[in-house]
Structure 1
Amino acid sequence: MKYEMKPLFEKRMKTLLPDKKDFDRFNKIVHEKPRRFIRCNTLKISTEDLLKRLNKRWRVVQPYKDHPEIIVIESILGPGELGNSIEHLLGYYYVQEISSMLPLLSLKPKPGEFILDLCSSPGSKTTQMAAMMKNEGTIIANDLKLDRIKILAANLERCGVTNTIVTRNDGVGLCNRISKTDFKFDKILLDVPCSGEGTLRGSPKTFKIWNLKVVKKLSREQKKLFAFAVKCLKVGGEIIYSTCTHSPEENEAVVDFALKNFPLKIEKVILPLKCRPGIKEWGEEKFDKDVEDCCRIYPQDNDSEGFFISKFKLVEEIK
């Protein structure tokens, strides 16, 4: 079934993409199925050994030479084929869209660090984080709903992750309790629940359920979550704020809120694919000029899903 954009959503996207050819490319690609990306789980197998196994049944390519763990399956796949392979069941790879891998490529977690993944289920980024840390250090992987926690725990076990503590808490409540202790994290991943405008290719029902009231409600919740999370970060520590949506209310508006209310320095996001800078205004709202250092990922630029990534460093203690 093919869904079409709601008129208001289309109007907003045309404002974000004022060039007609650019918008037309966007409108075309969001109705196409996304490429099939997987990420080699280096906790269990080397990229070379995984490729030897996969090449026996599929045509695979590595599009980013600096990130050989990122693999595209170019063969035509049957329903459930990627998820039912023996390599997947053994945890040798994670089915993960390229945009979803980008926040960790920017955060650059290292072995031995203490990291908070506040909205972690289903675990794609948590398992990626653990692999980059070589299972050394500690990850607190938090989510709220029990059914999502079960999925997270299953993926951590399948992928051989041993450096992660799973918690089931409201993100605001958890951060509020942590902030009252002396414990601070080296890094925080805040990949927040959002309106999902960037997932139209993989989840076409987003066309149907999109609602501006929900966007504005989520924006308020995202600001609150950021305000509590940043208090758990050590001075000099880094926090990634990311979404899989295009709406400025959930992206630049949250970044602007963070810069105006906390002693943060925004860091330029540099990634191995085409990024567009954050926008400096939306409607009557003008944002801090540094939002340009954020990264907007549009599907027509990289044959991917859509995403937004921002990176901050805490420069002094929050009083």
Structure 2
Amino acid sequence: MKQAGRAAMLARDFFSRYSGLIPDYQDFLDSIKGPVPASIRVNTLTGSPEKIRSALLSQGLEVLPSPLGAEFLVLPGLESPGRLLLYLTGHIYSQSLGSGIPALALAPEPGELVLDMCAAPGSKTTQMAAMMKNLGRIVANEPSIKRHPGLMANLHRMGVSNTVVTSYSGQDFPMRVRFQKILVDAPCSGEGNGRMDSQGCLVGTGPRRGNLQELQHRLLLKAFDLLEEGGVLVYSTCSYDPMENEAVVERLLQERRARLLPIQLNIPHEPGITHWEETQFSQELANAWRIYPHRLKTVGFFLAKITGA
């Protein structure tokens, strides 16, 4: 009965609070009808994008490029990339375009020491390992032991060899080591996954539960404190809620000597907002990115790139 109650919620009603926030709001509502088009990331540790694209085409699949670069491909009409042999052998990873942007913004390089603070199931960890060519070190931290088997399986399947797994609560991660790059893909409401079924009902997410802002704040604060001088972090969520996004970053700016960096990627997006209802945010928040499904055919995302002032 609980699931039925969720299914009866109209997507239009659920997202109505953002009608004045999301540009071209009706286009946004139209864009979330039906499932998100399938997309995959080519594992460059095991093969080139050109070879994988050719292999997909040889199976009769439609393969389209994406704005994220050659490693990300869109496969319209494919229901489950996870059933492909290329997936099982670690040549591709089923990953939304929105999910791929935070690691691209962070841009970890071979030889660096990187922390993925909330790592499971490993989408961004494996992506960063490929970007680093398995050189340097990634600490994939996942506080939920129950999620470790899936994380470890993905690391193994994708041929990742530069990563160690830890299980600290992110907000209590020990201060013994400083990192050059940190990704905080924080626990969130998951609103960005919300879609509209054929009856107009909300699917893919549910009613907002509890207040995640305090946990998100503590994670971001700890991540900033773990940066070495000159280090960079990216904070991201798959939520549209400014209280999970700009408000969390604003608190960091007030409590630490931090600043937002521009994100130098050529990907469709909207800037972060500088006010929400009665709350004003720093003008720096315009450097953050909001990813909307009517701008890029994917799930909704927020990200901010941060360093010391």
Superposed, 1:1-319 pairs within 5 Å as: 3-5=9-11, 7=13, 9-17=14-22, 22-57=24-59, 58-64=61-67, 67-74=69-76, 76-78=77-79, 80=80, 82-174=81-173, 177=174, 179=175, 181=176, 183-201=177-195, 204-207=202-205, 209-211=206-208, 214=210, 217-315=211-309
RMSD: 1.8
For residues 2 and 134 of structure 1, what CA distance do their matches in structure 2 show? 46
Question: Once the two structures are superposed, what CA deviation does each residue of 1:147-206 show, in whole Å capped at 9, x if it has no partner?
Answer: 2111110000000000000111211122xx2x2x3x210010001010111111399545
Q: If each structure's helix is expressed as a fraction of its own residues, which one has the higher value?
A: 1
Instruction: Name the SS for the 1:308 alignment partner.
Output: strand
- 8 A contact 2:196–2:203 mirrored in 1: no
Does the CA-based 8 Å contact 1:90-1:158 persist in structure 2?
yes
- TM-aligned CA deviation for residue 90 of structure 1: 0.5
Classify 1:288/1:106 alpha carbon distance in 2 versus 1 (closer, same or farther; 3 Å).
Answer: same
> Could you tell me whether the CA contact under 8 Å between 1:31 and 1:200 is conserved in 2?
no
Instruction: Pick closer, same or farther for the CA change 1:53–1:35 going to 2, 3 Å.
Output: same
Distance in 2 of aligned mates of 1:252 and 1:132:
28
The alignment partner of 1:299 has SS state of coil
TM-score normalised to the size of structure 2?
0.91
Distance in 2, Cα, partners of 1:16 & 1:224 = 26
Q: Is the 8 A contact 1:258 1:264 kept in 2?
A: yes
Q: Is the Cα–Cα contact under 8 Å of residues 192 and 300 in structure 2 kept in the other structure?
A: yes
Q: Deviations over 1:242-265 (max 9, x none)?
A: 010000000110111111111112
Contact 2:39 2:73 in 1 (8 A): yes
Residue 263 of structure 2 aligns with an amino acid whose one-letter code is V
Opposite residue 38 of structure 1, the aligned amino acid is I
Using the TM superposition, give the Cα deviation of residue 301 of structure 1 relative to its aligned residue in structure 2, in angstroms.
Answer: 1.1
Counting aligned pairs with the same residue, the percent is 37
Q: State the 1:267 CA deviation.
A: 0.3
Alignment gaps of 5+ in structure 1? none
Q: Give the match's secondary structure for 1:300.
A: coil
Amino acid of the residue matched to residue 43 of structure 1? L
How many Å separate the matches in 1 of 2:196 and 2:44?
A: 26
Paired residue type of 1:77: L
Residue 59 of structure 1 deviates from its aligned partner by 1.6
1:2 CA drift (Å): 7.3
Tell me if structure 1 keeps the 8 A contact 2:12–2:29. no
Q: Secondary structure at the residue paired with 1:122? A: coil
Q: Using the alignment, how far apart are the partners of 2:116 and 2:149 within structure 1?
A: 16
Q: Distance in 1 between matches of 2:8 and 2:34?
A: 10
Amino acid at match of 2:45: L
CA distance in 2: counterparts of 1:200 and 1:143, whole angstroms: 24
Deviation at 1:273, TM superposition (A): 1.9
Separation in 2, partners of 1:273, 1:109: 18
